[in-house]
Amino acid sequence: MRARVLVRPKQGILDPQGVAVERALPALGFKGVSEVRIGRLVELEIDNPAELDAISSQLLANPLIEDFEIELLEDAPAT
Amino acid sequence: MRARVLVRPKQGILDPQGVAVERALPALGFKGVSEVRIGRLVELEIDNPAELDAISSQLLANPLIEDFEIELLEDAPAT
């Protein structure tokens, strides 16, 4: 089934990319944007969605500084 | 309101990060994962969600090689 893993910098961890975006926006004429956080989006096709948690913490995210969230994109039953 | 921009490599564009993850998985004991694509996840707070399309194409994504998708995370009416 199709799944998505959202990887975000943990709360309290500095996010330099987000800071850079937030600072660049006013110069482009966009006001009123705040709390920009930039993470990774991983989309994949997986036979056994039960493995996603282990895959995410071992390979996709760095649990010291990142949180991850798993979204299953099809309603096929998880095994 | 809270919004999310998903930035993905365009179909047909090489995604070296995704290839690397896909190749690493069998060595970690995970089979049955394919079509791994890695993109960026941008989450932000924005006063005027109507600006998100322009912000995404000018600053968050490179439209030559990336697609983006906007998700509004709260049900406040867009202005």
**CATH number, position A40:** 3.30.1280.10
**What is the chain B residue with the closest CA to A6?**
B41
**What is the chain B residue with the closest CA to A50?**
B30
In a domain, A78, yes or no: no
Chain segment A18-72, per-residue pLDDT in tens? 999 999 999 999 999 999 999 999 999 999 999 999 999 999 999 999 999 999 9
* Chain B interface residues (partner A, CB cutoff 8 A): 6-8, 18, 21-22, 24-25, 28, 30-48, 51, 54-55, 58-60
In a domain, A17, yes or no: yes
Q: Are B10 and B70 in contact (CB under 8 A)?
A: no
- In SS3 terms, A10-43 reads as CCCCCCHHHHHHHHHHHHCCCCCEEEEEEEEEEE
Give the pLDDT mean for A6-12: 96
Q: How many CB pairs under 8 A join A and B?
A: 102
Question: Helices in B1-79 by DSSP H: which ranges?
Answer: 16-27, 52-55
If pLDDT is split at 50, 70 and 90, which confidence band does B76 have?
low
Asked if pLDDT for residue B24 goes beyond 90, the answer is: yes
pLDDT of res. B77: 53
Helices vs. strands in chain A: H and E counts, helices first: 2, 3
pLDDT of res. B75: 58
Count how many domains chain B has. Answer: 1
pLDDT of res. A75: 58
Q: Tell me what the pLDDT averaged over chain B comes to.
A: 93
Cα–Cα distance for residue pair A54/A72, rounded to 1 Å: 15
Domain that includes residue B52, residue range: 2-72
* Chain A interface residues (partner B, CB cutoff 8 A): 6-8, 18, 21-22, 24-25, 28, 30-48, 51, 54-55, 58-60
Chain B contact set for A55 (CB, 8 A): 25, 28, 30, 33
Asked if pLDDT for residue B74 goes beyond 90, the answer is: no
Which residue has tokens 């089934």?
A1
If pLDDT is split at 50, 70 and 90, which confidence band does A15 have?
very high
pLDDT of res. A41: 98
pLDDT of res. A60: 97
Chain segment B31-42, per-residue pLDDT in tens? 999 999 999 999
Q: What percent of chain B has pLDDT over 90?
A: 92
In a domain, B53, yes or no: yes
- With a threshold of 0.85, tell me whether the complex ipTM lies above it: yes
